[in-house]
Structure 1
Amino acid sequence: MTTRSSGRCYGAGLLDHQQPLEVRRLRALEEFADPATHAALSGRGLQAGRRCLELGGGAGSIARWLARQCAPGEVVVTDLDTSLLPRDIPNLTVSSHDVVREDFPDASFDLVHARALLEHLPEREEVLAKLVRWTAPGGWVCVDGMTVVTPADGAHNACHRCLESLITLSAGSMRADARWATALPRLLAHTGLENVDVLCTPGLVGPGGNADRLLRLTLEQTGPAMTAQNLIRRQDLTDCARLLDQDAYIDLAFLIVSAWGRRPRA
């Protein structure tokens, strides 16, 4: 996903597609998050002929999947940087679009979906209202938010220090809220959607963890910024990598909050 908000680049430029590790990081995100997204979207009335909107399409895996599920219905996938999005699918339209500043016609989609997008936008609640407005009566809004998890029991190792630094970097330079996603069920209900529900998917790190590669690549990419801002020491990053290599180590680092609701029929 790429976006700009209030004149600032998504992720303070740290997560741009041009960053050397970003494509690999996005693929790791897909490996971790796609099963959760598939599960959340599969119950939302996907069938042939549906018109869907995928916001912040990133590397395009969900756009491809939606296009298969809804063919011959049209899927529109947006991003500011569309260079990684597929252009070989007849019923998939790629559009450069700023979700904060630009619009779609009201009630123009049967399903509107976004993943790992709104938590990066200071205007996240205003954008959420737009998603609802773009959804046709009887259609679904589904949002997958990524939450960074740190232990509540006082445990504190190098991995936890890195995660806490990532949260601080997100809130500062990146203008993101790494814990906002837990508010999604309440916020969706507040917009007037019905049948609001949620699916939570844990992201485990350590050997064999479903989010291990995502965390390693994220820390490798953002680590220099965290050390430059004195949020963490280089030794902590090294110790975290060694900890993640230990066969006996397993920990919870992320949580995908997949929340959805249905726009009432007129």
Structure 2
Amino acid sequence: MTELYGETVFGADHDLEAMRLDALSRMFDPATRARLVQIARPGMRCLDVGAGLGRISGWLAEVCAQVIAVDRDTRLLADLHKVFPTVQVVEADITEDLALGTFDIVHSRLVLMHLRDRVDVFHRLADLVSPGGWLVLGEAVEAPALISPPQSPFRQLMEKHWRSLETAIGTDGQWGYRYPDLLREAGFVDIGVEMYQPPITPSSAAGQFFQLGFHHLRDRILADGLVDEATFDEAVKAMREPGFSDLGMGLLTAWARKPT
């Protein structure tokens, strides 16, 4: 059976999924907003794909004229309109055609890396950008650098959990590195790319995100035999110890403009 992100893995109905996405937002939203603020302008029409809790959609709504927040499961977006009335929430699958017109900004973060047909979806998103508009794509990439020694339980778990996601749903922790070439091949110009790698500490957003994620994936990782139970527990315990500090996955963001 083919598994999908948001169903058997990180489903919206999981007790801790809203908390995990909240930690993810606090971890990566500052970097995403810092990029979008460079291009978002009043009057723009924006599409936020894989909107999650809707934090970026809401921020865009404070700047732009129209924002459509798309997700395959919109249960966690149910109250977004109460805070941001101008945001339109659409439940849709980006792997299928979206009859939504074109946009001045199309943004997606941590979506395509989890899709097996990610190249096709990239071209779908590119087609949704209006001439002169911007495509902004962010993906998590396997930690470009780690401080812990290779034999440490934390490092073993951090590296091996990617393999578990790859096996289960096809996650590609290297996918984001392809964006500059794909954007160039698709005819985009003014291409840029940047990396943001936040610290993991017991109280940081990144630390909370990984503690919740590892809790969710525990049975799967142990069943896959990637790390043993003692190593798993030692890694999680180390993350909670005062003074622990390391680096987690990076957020690679690529952006480009479609010629007029």
TM-score (norm 2): 0.92
State the Cα deviation string for residues 77-122 of structure 1 (Å, max 9, x = none). Answer: 111111111122232111011100122355x100000011010111
TM-superposed CA distance for 1:209, in Å, is 4.1
* 1:81 and 2:73 matched: yes
Other structure's SS at 1:126 match: helix
Cross-structure match for 2:238: 243
Cross-structure match for 1:117: 111
* 1:203 and 2:198 matched: yes
Distance 1:199 1:151 in 2: 15
Moved more, 32-41 or 234-243: 234-243
Q: 1:152 to 1:254 in 2, by over 3 A?
A: closer
TM-superposed CA distance for 1:51, in Å, is 0.4
Question: Which of residues 20, 38, 53 is equivalent to 2:47?
Answer: 53
Moved more, 207-216 or 23-32: 207-216
Q: 1:150 to 1:157 in 2, by over 3 A?
A: farther
Question: Which of residues 193, 212, 215 is equivalent to 2:188?
Answer: 193
Moved more, 134-143 or 182-191: 182-191
Aligned residues: 256
Moved more, 225-234 or 22-31: 225-234
Kept in 2: contact 1:115–1:145 (CA 8 A): yes
* 1:95 and 2:90 matched: yes
Distance 1:218 1:52 in 2: 30
What pairs up with 1:1-266 in 2 under 5 angstroms? 8-10=3-5, 13-44=8-39, 46-70=40-64, 73-85=65-77, 86-88=80-82, 89-104=84-99, 108-149=102-143, 155-265=150-260
Letter in 1 for 2:81: R
Structure 2 residues not aligned, in runs of 5+: none
Distance 1:105 1:196 in 2: 25
Structure 1 residues not aligned, in runs of 5+: 1-5
Q: RMSD value over aligned CA atoms?
A: 2.0
Over 3 Å off, 4+ runs: 150-154, 207-210
State the Cα deviation string for residues 135-155 of structure 1 (Å, max 9, x = none). Answer: 111000001101121758972
Distance 2:245 2:254 in 1: 26
Other structure's SS at 1:211 match: helix
Kept in 2: contact 1:66–1:75 (CA 8 A): yes
